[in-house]
Chains A and B, each alone.
Chain A
Amino acid sequence: MSTAEATAAEHGDINEPGKARETFRAITRDVAWIAESPKPHKAWLVALGISMTMLGIGTYCIYKVIFTGIGVWGNSNTVCWAWDITNFVWWIGIGHAGTLISAVLYLTRQQWRVSINRSAEAMTIFAVMAAGLFPLLHTGRPWFAWWMFPLPNDMGSLWPQFRSPLMWDVFAVSTYATTSILFWFLGMVPDLATFRDRNAVKGNNIKAAIYGLFSLGWRGSARQWHRYERAYLILAGLATPLVFSVHSVVSFDFATSQLPGWHTTIFPPYFVAGAIFSGFAMVLTLLIPLRFLFNLQHIIKQAHIHAMCKIMLATGMMVGLAYGTEFFIAWYSGNPFESFTFISRAFGPFWWAYFAMVSCNVLIPQFFWSNWVKNNNILIWVLCIFVNIGMWFERFVIIATSLARSFLPSAWSYYHPTRYDVGVFVGTIGLFLTLFLLFFRFAPVVAMSEVKGASDEAHATGKKGSH
């Protein structure tokens, strides 16, 4: 087991569809070899190279944004928010699938979640990190962004302004990030201990020490397992409302303003549905290739992909319903500003963005009715990319088109991105992918203990779990 080839040779028959036997040992071995193989996979190296290049571009653009000013972007006095907040909301949305899978599906005893929850949680954390950059960067003076936190200070009674939805964002996103990290890390502790033990056996003392540090003295005793399960349940309970609250609060940035196109009560549920939609699309975007590369088809099964496709189909239609409802309300409310905003969205200067959004988010998921599509992983991957694009456009359409055509016609404007808008976005994708690739190489990418618990062998009857 010193090389990847040897590992592959060892579980040769396992890789053959239909013949796989998921022994506990095989599960451990199949997950652990990714981190244990001394040479990384070539595709992984190529992917890491691309991601880090993107991260480098982004770092340069962020340097320009901070040191020259956000004037390097295309934002203007009419369209004050554009790609910055679009990217923020998009990334936060992507960060929704992880916690949903970990917490909500855990509480509802959806066993199929176990093969993907670890990577989905990691994705959540990295997406929230990428998202978190934007509220910081989009401010004119990011070095003072800490003023948004209610920190005691010597400037008299200076305090944040709690009526502002941006303040609520600060709390919502930071709470979400904290809970997600805790949840992810707690779930990883038994698996990190497994890594520690395997490295210790092989004499990789440095690795064993590092994994040992993070496994917090886990020995796998029944008492530890008991405490662990309780803590996990509590965190799942805490995280579940967050799944709904974070994007609701983010949507308040728009819903509580008075701008036509922003000022609507439908936003919280609509944003949450969209977030789950885009989150699952991103999970599949990442897992479909990695599952092939690292031979995890027998753990992350086609059935799991089916389930995720169904969720995307459902949430995609919710989003579609929201689009329709918005138009209906724009007409039904009799508010002429509102109706103009929606007509302008669909048929005005940003029509291309609107139709990109509708086709990607409403039409594309309809393919998931077909089982043939759901078995064609390449097609699923392509469709998920479209969903990711569509969800980005959804936020762009809401933000830019509403701002560009607000109350006074004399202030109407248009928005053009600059290379720095694109560069910072590319950079956050690079950051996200880099972190994810590093995670995939060095951490337990599948919750081994949970997969074992959900496998056939774990049940005395030998009956299958609810795959």
Chain B
Amino acid sequence: MSAKELNETHGHDDHGHDHDHDTHVETTAAGEAEITPVTPPQEFGYWKSLRELGGTADWQQQGLTRKEFAPGADQAPLLDPMSRRNFFHLMGSSMGLAGIGAVAAGCQRYEKEEIVPLAKRPEDQIPGTTLQYATAVEIGGTTHPLLAIAFEGRPIRLEGNPDHPWASGGILDPKKKHAGAHTFAQASILHLYDPDRSTSPLQGGKGSSVDSFKIALGDIVKLLDAGGARVLAEASSSPTLAALRDKLTLKGVKWHEYEPISWDNERAGTRLAFGRSVRPLAKLDQAETIVTIDCDLFVEHPASMRYSRDFARSRSRDGGSLPAGTMNRLYSIESVFSNTGALADHRLPIRSELCLPFVMALDAAISGGVAPAAEFLREATVAPFIEALVEELKANSGKAVIIAGRRQPPVVHALVAKINAAIGAVGKTLEYLQDPWEDRPTHLDAIQELTRDMNAGQVKTLIILGGNPVYDAPVDLDFAGGLAKVATSIHLSEYADETSLKTTWHVPKAHFLEAWNDSRTWDGTITISQPLIAPLYGGLSSMEMCSLLLGKELGGDELVSTPTDDHSVKKFGWKKFVHDGFVPNSQLAVANNDLSLKPITATATGTQLKGTASLANNELEVTFHMSSFTYDGRFANNAWLWETPDYLTKVTWDNYALVAPQTATQLGIENGSMIMVKVGGKSVELAAYTMPGQARGSIGLVLGGGRTQAGHVMTHPHNVDSSVPGKRVVGWDTHKVRASTGFDVAGGATVELTGHTYELAEVQDHWSYNPGQAKMMGYDGGFDKEIVRRVSTGDHPLIREVTAAQLTSDPKWVAEETGEFWDDSVAAAGQSADAKTPPRHLSLFQEHEYSAHKWGMAIDLSSCTGCNACMVACQAENNIPVVGRVEVINNREMGWIRIDRYFTGSPDNPHVVSQPVACQQCENAPCEQVCPVGATQHSDEGLNDMAYNRCIGTRYCANNCPYKVRRFNFLDWNKEFREAREKVRRMLFNPEVTVRMRGVMEKCTYCVQRIQNGKVRTKAQIRSGQRDAKISDPIPDGEIETACQVACPTEAIAFGDLSDPSSRVAKLHERNGAVGDARSYALLPETYTKPRTRYLARVRNPNPKLEKPAKQAPAGGGER
């Protein structure tokens, strides 16, 4: 189907151009808040994890006894001497020796294959080159526009679609086309080739065929007319599916929509505020003050990519969307540390349930509401925060916006709407868009209604379109029990999962790259997804299923291209929409002027009135969080995501409970303690992660682990610690304690220690020393002090920061002083004028000279949100293997780019800096000097090239690399791709990047294949007259982009030619303050490696009212 359709579409020929100083509050026995002032944390004093903070606190990893042998050394199947395959190997060999089994011994001939050229070349297909097609992935009812890159008919990569109006636009230059893509969107391609995907229908849990399903379908269609038929669908924004839904509704089929991670609280809140549900959309590029209430703008929000981009635009002091010299200020009030909190200028960690009294206090101060009698509002960390915030919001009328998160109850959203109106946000920094399906009940109501009806026996037939409700429906509803009472149930799903096994029929669902779809981005732009490949396992899409239920077997293209609403696609040029990937000007209408505020009543009760300091064990709060690994569990079989470390915890391969250090001390929890969390009579046992900055008294449960029917990735012995009793899959199922009351935030939780410990596979702190031993020696090795020194306070700190005020008062501020001993400028000066300074030849070896390109990179720490998009992009582009939990613990993860995370300040409320580190492509590369066989060499364009074929694997280069960015193939990571059932996964490999064998070193190449392709493409275009330039002209800036750069939503990564002084990267590398932006600095410059990747100092914009000088704060009682 799709191959024919593809020929009608046009390949995109070219897309390249194309901390607050807190005082602690101790609550006395009488319940009065006694304010104990504390020394503020050392300004920009960094530490890496709680473990680092020495042997001073008992939340450390004391309980984890060190094993003599590395974990998994005795159990990893890679090391298994007698696996099934080895057994057959040996059997075969011995039979071969006996002369009786030549075939078994592997002496057979290769299968006869004939290579036949195509008689007629498909349009746009040039063998060996890639084509780009616009498409989109829909996750949780929001679509993310994508470009799929296909190599000879198979999609190999997903990138953001820069043409799409929702996604495009540069940070500094809005006309520049750029679109990021988050980790889930990028990694979703892995499922296309997943051998664990369902390949045929199941009937009653047993294998069946498509034909028998189609026979059964006739009866099912009749059942629909008989009444009692329901559809349970995962959220969808597709206008076509909506039309089909309406047709089914006319037939008497009731439609329920459910998502475990939903923004319905926001809809309900606007209904509370305005009497109708609308969709708030902030215009962050216009906002000078941004306040988030328990909301993660940059990862969790459906508009995360847009928000990241817009935030970076108003964050940029020079050339951004705000007037020159102005930048936004971000306040974040949240319980769990999010990427937004990490970027915030001021972050207030409070329990999620306290956001209501917090917002009420704002409402009282700004828009005339009633102030709650909540105790925590009087606390020394909170009161000045609110005071300063209110003052700023009032002063910044029309330039500020408040955004509340999906966990907050409707009343908080309503109050936020009221405050936003009072500060003049509406129409300036905030738009209310029409809800595309206004009368839809909330997801929670829908699933409750359906389950109630199922249990009451009213549902005869249930069609489940996607989703996995047996796993993720609220636990108190007993969805599985209700499902058992439904006579006929069909589950359309990509995997035969938990729900599929409980339904009478399971039908394979087509991957989004195998099916047509139309859907809406968060602003409503209708986005066309086209398939790139015929369904590998013969799946159906949701709309094809609906069409079958309506008695017509229509293809997805016929359905999508049929006029559905005002944007009748055929009329305006179907082909162009498919090519571009969207229908222009199809955004949801702005409803600002049709809204009028209604009175809102809000009351804070119970624990909402209590302080932040201490709660009894049965008063704890539990919040449920999107997993960075699996979203809500749906990506559970995605090894890329499981191995991409969480944004802030840097844990891989398990979900966990986030506990604040103080709460952990109170409860006796250490990092890695197994705890039992009890909520409303249900309990779950999982590992605890002591997270600095987590709100006191709030336990953050990460969703999406413990899937039993997800696939091989979840059960592979590489990924599961089989020494833990009862643990058979990756992570723990936190849905077990997620009930319909307390669906997002649940109170009255109890935490008990089980007495066990569990080793979480952390990528940054997986070294560990026993603090007990260090104490025994009377000295802890000074690790915390040393990290502070290296990261922030030494001569050449790894992280450099500056405040906006400092930049304003000193426009010539430079991050890296010139005139240091390693400067080439000093060397030049020494040779000529200044006789006192001897000529400097710092390198023993002759330094390189360049005649053409000098590739370089700049990474802006100010706009890096730590969203991991670059990591997944690199993984997909460069065929980076996944090593599994055991090998992550063994410190052998293979990611070419890692995001280092450092904390600064007290564990109560630290600041966080994320620093992406890949190969720095040093000018004087230490790795090149020491390779005995010359496998790593300097190219004439300034790259450190790796010749995998020449590498013998001495690993000396990695030892000599100060940045520790080289990655060694300790084992044959690609072994499984040779197994028959895994061979389909090889179709995903990028053919332009070598798949590395065991025993060779690898590292970031600056995407050398993209550099070469870019050069070839540009020159070919010049030669063929498509481009008006001379062959000798430099490659235009922006023509070549690395994979990480393309994926970055905030353009924090810049890449280009340093020999072209007009290139963006050359300007960013500038470190002469007199010229302009001089935030650039190198990592470890004193090693004289002269790295080609430079970092731009992070700019903070603290509120002077909250930034008290350290000496004014009274001394004593500090955590540090």
Contacts and interface: CB of A to CB of B under 8 A. Distances in A.
Are A and B interaction partners?
yes
Interface of A: 64, 68-72, 74-81, 138-142, 144-145, 147-148, 158-161, 163-167, 170, 253, 256-259, 336, 340, 343-344, 347-349, 351-352, 403-404, 406-414, 416-420
10 contacts: A69-B971, A69-B998, A69-B999, A74-B69, A76-B970, A77-B891, A138-B955, A166-B954, A336-B789, A349-B769
A166 B930 contact: yes
Contact of B891 (A72, A76, A348, A420): A76
Q: Nearest 3 CB-CB pairs, A to B?
A: A140-B953, A140-B999, A349-B769
B767 A412 contact: yes
B900 A347 contact: no
Nearest to A63: B81
Contacts of A147: 933, 950, 952
Nearest to B915: A410
A406 B79 contact: no
Given A77-B958, A77-B964, A148 B952 contact: yes
Contacts of A78: 767, 891, 964
A351 B773 contact: yes
Nearest to B967: A77
Given A147-B933, A166-B954, A349 B767 contact: yes
Contacts, number: 221
B787 A409 contact: yes
Contacts of B795: 336
A81 to B, nearest CB: 6
A348 B767 contact: no
B992 to A, nearest CB: 23
B779 interface: yes
Contact of A71 (B66, B892, B900, B915): B892
A257 B963 CA distance: 14
* Residue of B74, B766, B958 ringed by the most chain A CB atoms within 10 A: B958
* Residue of A71, A158, A170, A414 ringed by the most chain B CB atoms within 10 A: A71
Contact of B790 (A257, A409, A413): A409
Contacts of B850: none
A414 B768 contact: yes
Nearest to A254: B959
B7 to A, nearest CB: 44
A411 B891 CA distance: 9
A68 B790 contact: no
Interface in B217-276: none
Interface in B314-361: none
Contacts of B956: 80-81, 164, 166, 253, 257
A343 B68 CA distance: 24
Contacts of B81: 64
A412 B73 CA distance: 21
* Residue of A72, A142, A159, A170 ringed by the most chain B CB atoms within 10 A: A72
A406 B781 contact: no
Interface string B934-964: 1000000000000000111111101110111
* Residue of B780, B892, B932, B999 ringed by the most chain A CB atoms within 10 A: B932
Nearest to A262: B959
Given A69-B970, A71-B998, A74-B69, 18 more contacts: A69-B969, A76-B890, A77-B966, A77-B967, A77-B968, A139-B953, A147-B933, A161-B933, A165-B930, A166-B954, A258-B926, A347-B779, A408-B900, A411-B964, A416-B67, A417-B68, A418-B69, A419-B73
A160 B933 contact: yes
B421 interface: no
Contact of A418 (B70, B791, B798): B70
A256 B791 CA distance: 26
Interface in B1043-1073: none
A164 B931 contact: yes
B791 A409 contact: yes
Interface in B979-1003: 997-1001
B76 to A, nearest CB: 8
A406 to B, nearest CB: 6
A287 B770 CA distance: 41
B802 to A, nearest CB: 22
Given A68-B78, A71-B892, A416-B69, A336 B794 contact: yes
A64 B966 CA distance: 24
Given A148-B932, A410-B48, A257 B900 contact: no
Contacts of B954: 138-140, 166
A75 B789 contact: no
B106 interface: no
A64 B78 CA distance: 11
A70 B970 contact: yes
A141 B952 contact: yes
Interface string B902-919: 100000000000010100
Contacts of B845: 163
B892 A163 contact: no
Interface residues of B, number: 81
A69 B1000 CA distance: 11
Contacts of A340: 782, 786
Given A145-B952, A257-B959, A407-B962, A413 B766 contact: yes
Nearest to B926: A258
A124 to B, nearest CB: 25
B929 interface: yes
Contacts of B367: none
Nearest to B1088: A258
Contacts of B958: 77, 80
A258 B968 contact: no
Contact of B960 (A257, A411, A416): A257
Contacts of B953: 70, 139-141
Given A141-B1000, A411-B964, A159 B69 contact: no
Contacts of B764: 410
Contacts of A348: 769, 774, 781, 783
Contacts of B798: 408
B733 interface: no
Contacts of B902: 409-410
A270 to B, nearest CB: 19
A259 to B, nearest CB: 6
A15 to B, nearest CB: 46
Contacts of B929: 163-164, 256
A414 B767 contact: yes
Contacts of B735: none
A75 B73 CA distance: 12
* Residue of A343, A348, A352 ringed by the most chain B CB atoms within 10 A: A348
A417 to B, nearest CB: 7
Interface in B15-67: 48, 52, 66-67
A383 to B, nearest CB: 26
B971 to A, nearest CB: 3
Contacts of A166: 930, 932, 954, 956
A345 to B, nearest CB: 9
Contacts of A161: 931-934
Contacts of A148: 932-933, 952
A133 to B, nearest CB: 15
Contacts of B1087: 258, 407
B588 interface: no
* Residue of B78, B933, B971, B1084 ringed by the most chain A CB atoms within 10 A: B933
A161 B933 CA distance: 5
B692 to A, nearest CB: 16
A228 B368 CA distance: 110
Given A409-B787, A417-B70, A141 B930 contact: no
A394 B791 CA distance: 30
B66 to A, nearest CB: 7
Contacts of A79: 891
A407 B79 CA distance: 32
B132 to A, nearest CB: 34
B932 A160 contact: yes
A409 B48 contact: yes
Contacts of B523: none
A81 B891 CA distance: 13
